[in-house]
């Protein structure tokens, strides 16, 4: 039986975003955030642990994992199979919403905690060879940190290679779990890692569940339809741009020829026949100042 793809957001949320699997989420976040020794996250509350089946078939829905730490830090994890473009601006927009939603009317700005956004993408989107990038707000020349309230992570799965020097071995194993193409790799990364072991077992259970498979196939189709629509619109826009460019080039060429004929003193009706321009357009060219 085909194993479900944990990179599809529906499956990812079932593994990392449910109450019974909060221990998996905690281990995953500690691997990504890599806190100092003795400061690992030990408690977390899910903000949306329920998955509405109606959202699965909706290609515009975002099945992210949202949680808040015991210290009040909101965290949002989104996994994307396809490039929807403008991901940098979308990420900053979603981070801003996550940050702003902390304050209720009348609260002081000092109540704001840092907000963390984590993007896991199955395509290359940043100009770096590193698969894990972390962005904060720093001064250009000195590198001084303005505030640690903004923290954005990009994890680019396509840049992950087994030969990479990786100081954070736990994170490497989690990424290999998401990328695993066979059972041998899954079992290898789960060895001596209880949380990954549980994630592998959950994935196997989900893969064998008939209703989960039905929803997975529905979600996979919705995501493919969305990316097809995006690419179709992009290609249509490019084709329209090329057509407009050709049309503009022809018009400029006609005008240039007409101007040359006007300078030679040719009659207007002959210029109209030679260029296809209207008499009004010929008059307009005659009235244009010479450069």
pLDDT in tens, 74-97: 999 999 988 877 889 999 999 999
More confident residue, 186 or 228: 186
Domain borders along the chain are: 9-208
What does the pLDDT read at residue 134?
A: 96
The predicted model gives 141-159 an average pLDDT of 95
CB 251 within 8 A of CB 276: no
* pLDDT(274) > 90: no
What does the pLDDT read at residue 198?
A: 97
Give the model's confidence band at 32: pLDDT under 50 very low, under 70 low, under 90 confident, else very high: very high
Query: In the chain, what percentage of residues exceed pLDDT 70?
Result: 87
**HSE (side-chain half, CA atoms, 13 Å) at 72:** 10
CB 117 within 8 A of CB 95: yes
DSSP letter, residue 82? S
* pLDDT(25) > 90: yes
What does the pLDDT read at residue 99?
A: 95
* pLDDT(291) > 60: no
At residue 277, what are phi and psi to the nearest 5 degrees?
-75, 160
Its pTM stands at 0.75
The pLDDT mean for the chain works out to: 85
The tokens of 145 are what?
Answer: 């940190």
Give the model's confidence band at 166: pLDDT under 50 very low, under 70 low, under 90 confident, else very high: low
Question: 198: closest CA among 7, 3, 27?
Answer: 27
Query: In the chain, what percentage of residues exceed pLDDT 90?
Result: 47
* pLDDT(185) > 90: no
The predicted model gives 40-47 an average pLDDT of 94
* pLDDT(34) > 80: yes
More confident residue, 252 or 209: 209
Q: Which of 62-66, 251-255, 283-287 shows the highest mean pLDDT?
A: 62-66
What are the angstrom distances between the C-alpha of 264 and each of 182, 252, 255, 289?
77, 19, 14, 17
Distance CA 112, CA 102 (A): 6
More confident residue, 163 or 150: 150
Give the model's confidence band at 49: pLDDT under 50 very low, under 70 low, under 90 confident, else very high: confident
* pLDDT(242) > 90: no
CB 136 within 8 A of CB 145: yes
The predicted model gives 105-133 an average pLDDT of 91
Contacts of 81 (CB under 8 A, 6+ apart): 7, 8, 9, 122, 123, 223, 227
């Amino acid at each position: 039986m085909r194993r479900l793809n944990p990179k599809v957001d529906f499956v990812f949320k079932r593994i990392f975003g449910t109450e019974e699997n909060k221990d998996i989420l905690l281990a995953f976040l500690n691997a990504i955030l890599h806190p100092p020794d003795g400061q690992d996250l030990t408690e977390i509350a899910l903000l949306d642990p329920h998955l509405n089946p109606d959202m699965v078939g909706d290609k515009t829905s975002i099945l992210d994992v949202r949680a808040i730490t015991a210290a009040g830090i909101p965290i949002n994890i989104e996994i994307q199979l396809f490039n929807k473009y403008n991901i940098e601006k979308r990420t900053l927009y979603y981070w801003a919403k996550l940050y702003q939603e902390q304050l209720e009317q009348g609260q002081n700005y000092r109540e704001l905690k840092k907000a963390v956004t984590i993007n896991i993408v199955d395509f290359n989107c940043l100009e770096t060879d590193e698969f894990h990038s972390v962005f904060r707000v720093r001064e250009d020349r000195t590198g001084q940190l303005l505030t640690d309230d903004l923290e954005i992570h990009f994890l680019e799965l396509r840049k992950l290679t087994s030969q990479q020097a990786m100081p954070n071995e736990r994170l490497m194993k989690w990424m290999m779990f998401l990328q695993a193409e066979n059972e041998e790799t899954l079992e290898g990364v789960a060895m001596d890692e209880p949380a990954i072991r549980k994630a592998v077992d959950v994935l196997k259970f989900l893969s064998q569940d008939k209703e989960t498979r039905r929803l997975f196939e529905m979600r996979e189709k919705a995501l493919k339809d969305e990316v097809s629509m995006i690419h179709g619109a992009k290609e249509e826009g490019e084709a329209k741009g090329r057509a407009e460019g050709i049309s503009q080039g022809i018009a400029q060429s006609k005008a240039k020829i007409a101007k040359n004929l006007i300078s030679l003193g040719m009659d207007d009706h002959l210029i109209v026949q030679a260029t296809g321009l209207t008499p009004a357009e010929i008059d307009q060219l005659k009235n244009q100042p010479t450069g």
